[in-house]
Structure formats: structure tokens, C-alpha cells
Amino acid sequence: MSLSVTIVTTRALLMAFLCSFAWPLQAALTLDEAVAIARENDPWLQGSQYRESALQAQSTAAGTLPDPVVSVGFANLPTDSWDFDQENMTQFKVGVIQQFPRGDSRELSRKRLQMLSSQHPHQRDERRARVAVNISQLWLESYRAQESIRLIEQDRELFEHLVDVAQSNYSSALGRTRQQDLVRAQLELTRLEDRLAVLQQRRAMSAAKLGEWLLQAPGADAYAGAEAWLDNGASALVLAAELPAMQLLQPQLYRSSGGVPAPVLAAHLKTHPAILSIERRIDASKTGIELAEQKYRPQWSVNASYGYREDDPMGDDRADFFSVGVAFDLPLFTSKRQDKQVQSAIASSAALRTEKWLALRSMMASFETQRSRLQRLQQRRELYQSRLLQEMEEQAEASLMAYTHDDGDFSEVVRARIAELNARVEALDIEVDRLQAISQLNYFFAGELSSAEGVES
């Protein structure tokens, strides 16, 4: 068999293999499903609901009066005989005292706790958005490794055939195949094996991290898409064969090549759940200032008692006593207590306002970083899709054709195939990096479109 016929047969077998190759789809886990499972199984969200319920219960308790204090006792017993009817002033007393908190302290305490509880729905929205970002990063990293393995597996079949062809030609002394060509083909095949081992390790690690979010609470039904992982470990988790089609939220912010004006971006970010949560804390701190100012007002209490007296030794009736009174404190020395408490409340509120500004500034900087990254990735993606991949394929085909017609070098064929494989892997990296950037950018608009996932299956 001639060299030409051998190469053609090799290519035909390779094409048949590629056409019949199918990535396993059973129990395939999509990104949408992974995000939904992670949110459903996130214990932090359940804990947040408990914390909100606790604050709501505390606010109800804070708005009520303190429990009255009941006192029971004997008064003015004579110490010489301890007789209850000997002295006129001896009596059995039952009293009650009711305290009233300072000024509007009850209402302000209730209002403050309600404001603190109102931050938890925003925190849960932010947590859901953050979970979507984290799961997207993990899912895409696992997909990157999975798809890279598939691409290399495809080319490994080609290099195995090239090794066979080189071995056959070298043994039969056909064409211009040299020993170094055989060694080069075998070397590249070995390097592919090493790349596969590294990628399989990466896939196992990313799948294990992703699987952490897929674990159900005790007693919950296992999700069908994650059942293989739960039964057989992270290596059995199979992802969907196609990348999701992510759409940018607020696409008008990406039409300009320059940066987004700070006031425009800040206007969008002010509705972010993380910022709204800080605002609820700021509102609570303002109420805390008002609550501290109530310390200047006196605390009142009302007391009433009934004193029972026994008849005198002669049998004459003695009148019982009833007492009522009001007590209050005098906050006269305020410089060391009340003034400092108010100053502390004001400083705490100011610190929260700076925390809000720092959060906004950090989010704006992160947005611009990811926006610039996405623009560069979009440019590279367009370059790869419009020219580079096609040119790499043409170069590989040309080198193979030249070698088939005894007009090229075997090493050039190998180099061209390696370059084509690397280009396809780099194109995959660009797609994955692009989707990761989109997921991170969509996080910044979780407040405006909290019901939108930014992912279409």
C-alpha cells in the first residue's frame, strides 16, 4: 500500500470516529439545574430566615411594657412579741410596681429591630446572586476540563494513527519517514497523555467543589442529575455537552468602548441587594440614635399597695391601708453617660455610611474590571471564529496534503496538528472565560432583575 493510500485511509477512519463520537448525555447536569439545586440546598438561606424570624419576635417583645413586679410582705411587726394585732401599724402588704421605659424607647426599640430584620430578605437575594456566580464559575471550570478532554481524546486518535503510519513507513522504508519522525509522533502522543492526566485531575477537583453544593439535606430526595455523583463520587458527575447561552443584563452599558460614567453605574448599583441590606442597617442605626437620645428622659414607675391590718386586742376593727405612688429618676449628670451613648450611636451610623460607600466603590471597580475583560474576550472570540480557527485548520490540511504528496515534512504535519489542537482548546478557554465574566457582570444587577437568571437553556 502506498503512502498516499495509507494517509487517506487513516483520515477516513478518523472522520468516521469523530462522527460517531458522542459525549455521554445520561444524567447530564445543566448550569440552570446546578444553580437551582445549589440555591435549594443552601443552608445559609434557611439560617437567614431563622435570623429574620428571631429579630421579628424580638421586635414584638421590645414593644411591650416590662412585666409588673409584685411584692408580698409584713410591715411593722413588733419585735417584743411578734403579735400581728398588737400595734396599729402592723400590716400584711401586697403591692405591685409597673415601670414605663424612657420616652418613646419601646416604640423606637421595636422599630429598630424591625429594620434590622428587614435586611435579611436583601441578604438572601444577594446570597442567591452570589451562589449563581459561584456555581457558574465551578460548572464552567468543570466543563472546560470536560470539553478539553474531549478535544484531546479526538486528536489522540489522530496521533495514534500518525504513529502507526510513521512506524509502518519507517519499517517498510517508504517515502521520507525518518526515525526522528517516529520519535516525534510518539513524543507528542505521550504529551497528550500527560495533558489528559492533568485535565482529568482538574475536572475531578472542580467537580468535587461543585458537588459540595449539590448535596441534599438529610432526608431530602436526591436530584436525578446529581445522582451519579452522590453514588459514585465527583468523577461520575457528567455535565451538559453544550455551553449555556448567557445574556448580559443591562446590555446598554456595554455598547460604548469607554467606561460607564460613575453616576450612571452608581444609580444601577444602589438597587443591589448588598447595598440595600446596608441601607436597612443605616436606617436602624438612625433609629438607634433616637433611642440613645431617650436616655435624657426620666424613667417612670407607678406603684400601688394594699395593707391589711388585724383587729386590735379589744376586738375593735382597724381600717386597712391603700398606698399609691409615682417614682422617676433624674438624668442630671449626662456628660459621662447619656452624651457618650449618643456620640457612640452617631459614630456607628457614620461608620455604616462609609461601609456603604466602600461597598459601592468596590463594586464599581469590579464591574469595570470585568467589563474590560469581557471586551477583550469578545475581540479574541471574534478573531478566533472569523479567522484563526479556519486558518489553523487550513494549515494542518495543507501540511498533511504536502506530506501526502512527498512535498512536506512529517514534523511539520505534527506541529500543524498540535497548533490546531491548541487553537481549539484556546477557543474553548475564551468561551468559558467569556461566560464566567458575564456571570460576574450579571451579579451587579441582581437587584434590578432578581427574577432573571441571565441564562437560557
Q: What is the pLDDT of residues 188-230, one digit of tens each?
A: 778 888 888 999 999 989 888 888 888 765 544 545 444 444 4
The percentage of the chain sitting over the pLDDT mark of 90, rounded to a whole number, equals 52
- At residue 153, the pLDDT reads 86
- At residue 162, the pLDDT reads 65
β-bridge mates for residue 95, sequence order: 71, 305
434-451 burial code (b ≥16 CB/10 A, e <16) = bbbbbbbbbbbbbbeebe
Q: What is the mean pLDDT of the chain?
A: 83
Q: How far apart are CA 138 and CA 453, in angstroms?
A: 16
Predicted confidence (pLDDT) per residue in 287-326, tens digit: 999 999 999 999 999 999 999 998 877 878 888 999 999 9
Q: How far is CA 275 from CA 251, 351, 356, 412, in A?
A: 22, 14, 6, 58
Cβ atoms of residues 2 and 175 within 8 Å:
no
Instruction: Please identify, in words, the CATH class of the domain defined by 3-456.
Output: mainly alpha
Q: At what angle do helices 389-404 and 3-20 cross, to 10 degrees?
A: 150
21-30 burial code (b ≥16 CB/10 A, e <16) = eeeeeebbbb
β-bridge mates for residue 456, sequence order: 245
| Three-state DSSP string of 282-335 | HHHHHHHHHHHHHHHCCCEEEEEEEEECCCCCCCCCCCCEEEEEEEECCCCCCC
What count of other Cβ atoms lies within 10 Å of the Cβ of residue 118? 19
- At residue 189, the pLDDT reads 78
- At residue 286, the pLDDT reads 95
Contacts of 300 (CB under 8 A, 6+ apart): 99, 100, 326, 327, 328
3-state secondary structure of 267: helix
Predicted confidence (pLDDT) per residue in 91-117, tens digit: 999 999 999 999 999 999 999 999 999
Cβ atoms of residues 289 and 352 within 8 Å:
no
pLDDT at 454 over 80: no
Comparing C-alpha atoms, which of 433, 420, 416 is closest to residue 381?
433
* 201: its cell numbers: 485531575
pLDDT at 11 over 50: no
Predicted confidence (pLDDT) per residue in 150-190, tens digit: 998 887 777 666 666 666 655 665 555 566 666 776 777 78
Cβ atoms of residues 121 and 447 within 8 Å:
no
Range in 56-60, 100-104, 231-235 with the lowest mean pLDDT: 231-235
Contacts of 40 (CB under 8 A, 6+ apart): none
Contacts of 351 (CB under 8 A, 6+ apart): none
β-bridge mates for residue 70, sequence order: 96
pLDDT at 328 over 50: yes
Range in 144-148, 192-196, 431-435 with the lowest mean pLDDT: 192-196
Numbers of helices and strands, H then E, in the chain? 12, 8
Cβ atoms of residues 104 and 294 within 8 Å:
yes
β-bridge mates for residue 323, sequence order: 305
3-state secondary structure of 420: helix
- CA gyration radius for the chain? 39
Contacts of 101 (CB under 8 A, 6+ apart): 65, 66, 109, 294, 299
* 13: its cell numbers: 477512519
- At residue 193, the pLDDT reads 86
Is the pTM higher than 0.75? The answer reads yes
- Burial label for 214, CB within 10 Å (0-12, 13-18, 19+), is buried
